Amino acid sequence: MAKLNLNQEIKKVEKRLNDIIVSNDPVIEEAALDLLASGGKRIRPAFVVLSSQFGEHTTEDTYRIAVALELIHMATLVHDDVIDKSDKRRGKPTIAKQWDQDIAILTGNFLLALALEHISTVKHERVHHVISHAILDVCRGELFQFQDQFNANQNVVNYLRRINRKTALLIQLSTEVGAITADADDKTVHKLKRIGHYIGMSFQIMDDILDFTSTEKQLGKPVGSDLLNGHITLPVLLEMRNNSEFKQRIQQLNANNPKEEFQHCINVIRASSVIEEAQRVSDHYLAKTLDLIESLGNEDAKKLFNKIINKMAKRNK
């Protein structure tokens, strides 16, 4: 294979995304394009294309999957914002805030339907099997997150299962299916699937850390948004385990509490050593990723993988 220019590849995917977001309803089309224009890291398309480098050849199916997984990711963001009643996403008003909740739900459904239509011509049966099962699990993850709002009686294992479904699955799909579309051998596909899982777990843990340690300007939403929305993330779980007074406060939190009560809990986390503890968990997943990448072929693609992972480890938003 020719040496990959990942920036050029992402530009191709970006153009395809702009071209296919077309609806008979101008409001839904505008809302979907507005979300697309708000940016995003596009890590899922990047990992689809990058993983295809470990097979025989990148195909049209590779690009279709790259586009579809970004559309699915966008759909989950819209639905997350509705469930959380969020006003901001990437520093801009959410679709529900800018239009209304009904438009937001319909836009999310439209993006998901568009993704499925876009991969309808993909020839690999295995791709359809893997994606359909993963989408079911992603939906379960959304449901479990909703059910676990303000539930202080959960543990780290519950949390890891939830973030696996919420975030890691779509990144795992990116690496696994990207390899399948390029006719990679089964051993390589399995390695890339595990790589995607580890990256996804680390990525979400980092997100949950940054929710406390970053700034509102960098996050594009208020600091501590997860806790404000009742999501008990790893830093909170670790502090609850270490601090009985803090645990009692978290157990008493609900959506009607004054913001000052949430702010106190956020300040406790920001000053706590659990940030470093959670970081070590994220780093553990990344170390497993790097070990697996080392066992793959294609030195140029491996270098790109390592470059992305190192960048992810140092991000601040």
Q: What is the pLDDT of residue 2?
A: 62
CA 104 to chain centre: 19
Q: What is the pLDDT of residue 46?
A: 95
| Phi, psi angles (nearest 5°) of residue 92 | -120, 160
Q: How many CB atoms lie within 10 A of CB 29?
A: 15
| Phi, psi angles (nearest 5°) of residue 273 | -75, -5
Question: Token pair of 215, please?
Answer: 């700034």
Q: What is the pLDDT of residue 143?
A: 86
- What is the C-alpha to C-alpha distance for residues 271 and 193, in angstroms, rounded to an integer? 36
Q: Which residue intervals of 156-273 are DSSP H helices? A: 156-163, 169-181, 186-213, 216-219, 225-228, 234-242, 244-252, 259-270
Q: If you search the block for the tokens 């390592």, which residue do you land on?
A: 306
Work out the widest C-alpha separation in the chain, in whole angstroms. 58
The list of the chain residues with pLDDT below 70 reads: 1-2, 317
Q: What is the pLDDT of residue 312?
A: 82
Question: Token pair of 189, please?
Answer: 């596909």
Strand partners, 89: 92
Q: What is the pTM of this model?
A: 0.93
Contacts of 300 (CB under 8 A, 6+ apart): 3, 4, 53
Q: What is the pLDDT of residue 1?
A: 57
The per-residue pLDDT for range 140-163, each reduced to its tens digit, is 888 888 888 999 999 999 999 999
